[in-house]
A and B are shown apart, each in its own frame.
Chain A
C-alpha cells in the first residue's frame, strides 16, 4: 500500500537516491501493471464466456469449432423475443416508476420541513434492511388478493416504491442550493412550479442513476420472478436462461453461455449510455 498515493505533487520534498521524475514514472508503471492484472481478472471470465459460446462442441466429433450455432440454438430452445419483451416491460416500468416516485419523495425529504420527517425518513431507510426473502410470502398473498398472481404486474407494482432511490434522490437534492427555490418563489412560482421547472430538470443526472441502477437490478433479477411467475409465457430472461440448462443440467454449455451473452447485451447498452452520468453522479464532487 506504500505506492497508493498519486504521482508527484508540486513542491514535494522527496528523499534522495532517485530523482522525483524517475520514481514517479516507475511507480506509475507498476500501478498501471497492477490495474491491468485487475482488469484482466474482472474481464477474463466474460471473455471466456464469449469465446466458449462462439466455439460450441460439435456433436459426434467432440471438436470445438467457431460459429454462431449456439446462438441460433438459444432461439430454437426458448422464445427469446418473448422473454426480452417481458423483461423489457418489467424493467422499463420498474425503472420509470422508481424514477418518478424517488424524485418526488427525495425532493420532499431534502427540501421540505414537516413534522415527523426524521422518523418517516428513518422508516423508509429501515425497509432497506429487510431481506426480500422474508417478505415474499406475504407479498405473494397480497398480489393474489389483487388478482395479479402469475402476471408481470406482480413483479412491477411492489418494486416501484424504492427506499434506496429515495435516499439517492434526497442526497442529490440536498446538493442543489436552496437559494434556487427562494429565487423562484420571489419570481412568484408556487411550490409545484418550483419543483417541476427548477429542481426536477437539475436533478436529471441523479434520476439517470436511479434509472440505470433500477434497470440493472430488475433486468438481472432472479429470485422474485422465480417465485412469482409460473406460466412460461410470463418468464423473464434470467428464467429463460435456466431453461437452457435443461432438466438436471444436461443442456449444452455453449448454448447456456450464448444465452448469457445475449442477456448481457441490453444491460451493456444501458451501461455504455449510462456510464457518463453514473460516473459523474457518483464522483461529482470533483468538479466543485
Chain B
C-alpha cells in the first residue's frame, strides 16, 4: 500500500495505459462507467462551484443590495478596491498571516512528526499522535470562543498565570501585536495536527535502509535530516504547504469570533472584508470583486508553488 495523500514514488509512477485487447462490449461498458461515475461530481461541482463563480464575476460589475434591482457600474467596484485603505490593509494582513502561520504550522508539525518517530512505548506514541490531532475535531468557532475567554485581558486565565509568575499582563485582544499573536496561535494550534499526520505518513514511507546506509557513511543528526529526510519528504512538504496556504488565505472564523478584525484593522482579513461587505453592508457587487481578486491570488500562489516545486521537490 502507498500513502494516500502524499504522492509517493509508487503512486506517481502507477501505470497509466489501460490493458490492451479489451473486448468491444467491455469497452462500451467502460465508457459508460467513466461518464456515469463522473457525472455526480462534475455536474455537482459545475452547478455549485463553476456556475456561481461565473455569477460572482458578473455580480462584480454591478451594485446590488439583494432587495433593489442591480445597477451596472462597470469596473467601478474594482477601481474602488484599489483606493480603499481597509481592503488594502486586509490583504496585507492576510499575506502576513499566511507567511507566519503556515511557516509555524509546517515547522511545528515537522518537528513533532520527527520526534514522534523516536523510540517509545506504542501506547505513548498513540497518545501523542491523538493529542496533536485532537484540536482538529473541534469547530473553529467554538475553539475561538474558548480562546477568547482564555485570552481575555481582564479576567482571562492566561493573564492570571502571567501575573502569578510575576510577568507583565498582556492586552491580548486589545493591542495590535497581542491580537495578531492570538489569532496566529489559535489558528496554528487547531491546524497543525493535519500537517503533522501528513508528515508522519511521509516519514514512515522513507525506507529504513536509506538511513542505515548513510549512517555507515558517517552521517548523523542534522546532516542526515538535511541530506535524506528533507529531500525524500519534499513531495509531502509540497502537498502539505499547498493545502496549508490555500486554507490560510481563507482565514475567517478565528478573527471573526476573537477580534472582529480589531483592534483597528489589525486582524481584518480578506475574507472578513468580503463577509462584511456582503452581509453587513449589503454591497454584494463589491464583495464579489474582492472575492475574485482573492481567488486570483490563491490560484497564482498555488501555480507558483508547483512551478518552484520542480526545482525543489525530489521524486526518488
Question: B240-257, CB under 8 A of A: which get 1 and which 0?
Answer: 000000100110110000
Is B99 on the interface with A (CB-CB < 8 A)?
no
A142 contacts across to B, CB distance below 8 A: 47-48, 51-52
CB of A158 within 8 A of CB of B119, answer no
What separation, in Å, do the CA atoms of A125 and B96 have in the docked complex? 26
What separation, in Å, do the CA atoms of A211 and B107 have in the docked complex? 28
Chain A binding surface, main DSSP class:
helix
CB of B112 within 8 A of CB of A35, answer yes
Within B154-189, the residues touching A (CB, 8 Å) are: 157, 189
What separation, in Å, do the CA atoms of A5 and B113 have in the docked complex? 10
Within A100-140, the residues touching B (CB, 8 Å) are: 100-102, 104-105, 107-108, 110, 112-114, 120, 123-124, 126-139
A17 contacts across to B, CB distance below 8 A: none
Which interface residue of B4, B26, B119, B150 has the most chain A CB atoms within 10 A?
A: B4
What separation, in Å, do the CA atoms of A46 and B11 have in the docked complex? 38
CB of B225 within 8 A of CB of A4, answer yes
Which interface residue of A3, A135, A222 has the most chain B CB atoms within 10 A?
A: A135
A185 contacts across to B, CB distance below 8 A: 19, 22, 26
Within B9-59, the residues touching A (CB, 8 Å) are: 10-11, 14-19, 22, 25-26, 29-34, 36-38, 40-45, 47-53, 55-56, 59
Known A129-B302, A220-B139, A285-B1; contact A257-B146, beta-carbon cutoff 8 A:
yes
Known A4-B111, A11-B216, A287-B1; contact A120-B38, beta-carbon cutoff 8 A:
yes
What separation, in Å, do the CA atoms of A264 and B138 have in the docked complex? 7
Interface 9-residue window, one of B72-80, B85-93, B123-131, B307-315: B123-131
What's the nearest-Cβ distance from chain A to residue B164, in Å? 15
What separation, in Å, do the CA atoms of A99 and B11 have in the docked complex? 21
A206 contacts across to B, CB distance below 8 A: 4
What's the nearest-Cβ distance from chain B to residue A237, in Å? 9
Per the CB 8 Å criterion, the residue count for chain B at the interface is 118
Question: A1-25, CB under 8 A of B: which get 1 and which 0?
Answer: 1111111011111100000000010
CB of B136 within 8 A of CB of A288, answer no
Which interface residue of A31, A107, A216, A257 has the most chain B CB atoms within 10 A?
A: A31
CB of B271 within 8 A of CB of A131, answer yes
Chain B binding surface, main DSSP class:
helix
What's the nearest-Cβ distance from chain A to residue B124, in Å? 7
What separation, in Å, do the CA atoms of A191 and B37 have in the docked complex? 12
Known A127-B45, A178-B14, A283-B200; contact A11-B215, beta-carbon cutoff 8 A:
yes
Within B272-304, the residues touching A (CB, 8 Å) are: 274-275, 278-279, 284, 287-288, 291-292, 294-295, 298-299, 302
A-side residues, CB < 8 A to B, are 1-7, 9-14, 24, 27-28, 31-32, 34-35, 38-39, 41-43, 45-46, 48-49, 52, 100-102, 104-105, 107-108, 110, 112-114, 120, 123-124, 126-139, 141-142, 157-158, 160-163, 166, 168, 171-172, 174-175, 178, 181-182, 185, 190-192, 195, 206, 209, 216, 219-223, 227, 238, 241-242, 245, 253, 256-257, 260, 263-264, 267-268, 270-271, 275, 278-279, 281-288
